Amino acid sequence: VDKSSSRLTIAIQKSGRLSKESIGLLQACGFKFSLHEARLLAHSSNQPVDLLRVRDDDIPGLIMDGVVDLGLVGENVLEEARLERVATNLPSEFERLRALDFGQCRLSIAVPKEDDYNGIADLNSKRIATTYPYLLQSYLQRQGVKASNAVLTGSVEVAPRAGLADAVCDLVSTGATLEANGLVEKDIIFRSQAQLIQRPEPLSAVKQAIVDQLLPRIDGVQMARE
């Protein structure tokens, strides 16, 4: 990515739960894109705007390192990355422009349904499987609970049955996945929705003008579908 470019670069999830709505929102705001499945970069045909299509986990770092101008990402992924970067002394600043009306989910503690569970203190000295070790530990610390992590990037919900952990801390929207794995949701530790974020360094005047035009359009689109 050419940082001196006058084209505004927006990072979105390439394929996943946020992709369709991210592109849909930008299109509803008047940006025209033709997307080619294999391509990382998509140029807008009617605005000096480029879409960078990446894994959602990469978006916070691209913003905090100033590699891209704007990003659309779940608050869960954003806050996890921020906590990790704070802990490892990497740049962790960004600007939050808008909360978006999609990507709603929650990060919850769940335990096997046959377990007797009377609250988070029951997880003292237990092991919890998660993809979000920093969000989990930050919650446990606030609750005064000491538990260890089993960090998995996928299949978190099978960890208790596989004997890897006593509980899980996983994203939930309907609860169907938990139920299918014999788990019961107990504590909501973080509520999330998609966010529009900007890199910390000020934008060039040309880019700022595009953002100034984009924000009221986002407000209009979101208001209309409330």
Residues that bind ligand ATP (CB under 6 A): 13, 16-18, 55-57, 74, 76-77, 103, 105, 171, 173, 192
Q: How far is the CB of 50 from ligand ATP (least distance, A)?
A: 19
Quick one: what does residue 52 bind among ligand ATP, Zn ion, none, with the CB cut-off 5 to 8 Å set by partner type?
A: none
Residue whose token pair is 């989910």? 105
Nearer Cβ to ligand ATP (74/133) = 74
Quick one: what does residue 80 bind among ligand ATP, Zn ion, none, with the CB cut-off 5 to 8 Å set by partner type?
A: none
The Cα 217–Cα 209 span in angstroms is 13
Please count the other Cβ atoms lying within 10 Å of the Cβ belonging to residue 123.
Answer: 23
Residue whose token pair is 């704007």? 70
Q: Residue 163 is encoded by which pair of tokens?
A: 């004997």
Strand pairing of 167-172 and 105-112? antiparallel
Does 56 interact with Zn ion (rule: CB under 5 A)? yes
Nearer Cβ to ligand ATP (13/181) = 13
DSSP 8-state assignment for residue 153? S
Among 5, 57, 127, 211, binds Zn ion (CB under 5 A): 57
Does 166 interact with Zn ion (rule: CB under 5 A)? no
Does 84 interact with Zn ion (rule: CB under 5 A)? no
What CA dihedral angle connects 3, 203, 11 and 200, to 10 degrees?
100
- Binding residues for Zn ion, per CB under 5 A? 56-57
